[in-house]
Amino acid sequence: MKRNNQNWMISAGALAVLTMVMAVRAGAAGSEGVTVQGPVLHAEAVARAPLSATGVSGAVLATMLDQSSGSAATHAAEVHGMGGVVTHDVLTPAVDVRSGLTDYAQPSNPTVPPVYNVADGYRPMPGAYRYDQRHVVQNDNQRSAGANRPFTDLWALTYFSQDDRGLAVGNWLSVRTMRSVRQGAQYGTQFMVPAPAQTQTVMLTAHSAFRVHREAEVPFGKVLQQWQNGPQFAQLVLREGPGAQEAALCWNYALATAGRLVCQVWQVPEQWRPGQPLVDKGIYIDDDREYYEGESGHRYWRREAARAE
């Protein structure tokens, strides 16, 4: 495992924008299930602006989690960080990042996509769900035909619950990884027909679910949840966004098979009210290439805006 230090510092390019070293929480232990019946208040309910200089409201955080970013694959950028001009690197495959909710009562299946609750048809989704996040190689229209470097596909699942009081993010995170493989002239994801020997699954746990009231403030720079299994861990972090009225929800993975930071940037519109969508401002990926044989450094993907699908 490459990143076995929980004080792992992200690459210089990402650091210039996100200006963070991920905070450490205690080692995680606990059951693989969540025992809460619904959200339990994490902080006293005080009316908050949706977004301020110090954080976002719990209602905005809930929308960050139940609104999907749609789908838009992009090639790696040669520039580092979230700013600057993107130059396509076609030697690394195009990558598509998707997230959404699935019915918690249904069995998880990589062939069944989550509900893509994108802005044009956004609706709040009260109840208990499985939060589903996927980073996979995409080759529509032969976009990855010239790639000669692999990418580790990643599929993460956790529990998400919300009601008119607050929200909860589960005390477990199941992560499956699989290295993309060459299929003829291009790399392609194998998640739809996984080969067991090539798939690695790890269950990470935390002491308890993360819970917050919809009216409470969720501060920037806070590790909202950390899941762990031995030296492997993943973190959910809220960061201030790079632009006006923006916030970034980041997932930091330090696994035996992958080291990756994925941030979704959302803009909170003026006069925003709970139940309304946020504005998708893009996704940023920092992939640690030390996990790939013969490589080092980092590769970066940045997608400005998603298309609804």
At 220-269, the pLDDT tens digits run 999 999 999 999 999 999 999 999 999 999 999 999 999 999 999 999 99
Tell me the CB-side half-sphere exposure of residue 309, using CA atoms within 13 A. Answer: 15
What integer pLDDT is reported at residue 240 of this predicted model? 95
> Is the four-CA dihedral 18, 249, 83, 73 of positive or negative sign?
positive
Using an 8 Å Cβ cutoff, are 80 and 11 in contact? yes
Buried b (16+ CB within 10 A) or exposed e, 178-188: bbbeeeeebbb
Amino acid code (one letter) for 306: A
What integer pLDDT is reported at residue 304 of this predicted model? 74
Q: pTM of the full predicted structure? A: 0.81
What integer pLDDT is reported at residue 137 of this predicted model? 79
DSSP 92-141: S--EEEEEEEEETTSPP-TTSPPB---GGG-----EEEEEEEEEEE--GG
What integer pLDDT is reported at residue 51 of this predicted model? 97
Q: What residues of the chain score a pLDDT lower than 70?
A: 1-47, 70-73, 75-89, 109-113, 116, 139-145, 181-197, 305-309
